[in-house]
Amino acid sequence: MDPKVLIVDDDDAILKSLKRGLELEKFNVYTANGGRNALDIIESDPPDIIVLDINMPDIDGITVTQRLRKKNIQIPICILSARDETTDRVIGLESGADDYLVKPFALQELIARLRALIRRAQVIQDNDQTITIQGLAIDPQKHLCLQNGEELKLTRKEFELLYILAQNPNIVFNRKQLLHKVWGYDFAVETNVVDVFIGYLRKKLETNNTARIIHTVHSVGFVLKT
Average pLDDT on 102-113 reads 90
| C-beta of residue 35 within 8 angstroms of C-beta of residue 58 | yes
The domain ranges of the chain are 4-123, 131-224
How does DSSP classify residue 152?
Answer: P
Cα separation values, 34 from 11, 53, 119, Å: 9, 9, 27
d(CA 180, CA 74): 20
Please write the tens of the pLDDT for every residue from 145-171: 999 999 998 887 888 899 999 999 999
Question: In this structure, what are the phi and psi dihedrals at residue 207, rounded to the nearest 5 degrees?
Answer: -75, 160
If pLDDT is split at 50, 70 and 90, which confidence band does 122 have?
Answer: low
Range 131-224: architecture per CATH: Orthogonal Bundle (1.10)
**pLDDT tens for residues 14-60?**
999 999 999 999 999 999 999 999 999 999 999 999 999 988 889 99
CATH, domain range 4-123: 3.40.50.2300
- Type and span of the H or E element at 169: none
Q: In the chain, how long is the greatest CA-to-CA distance?
A: 53
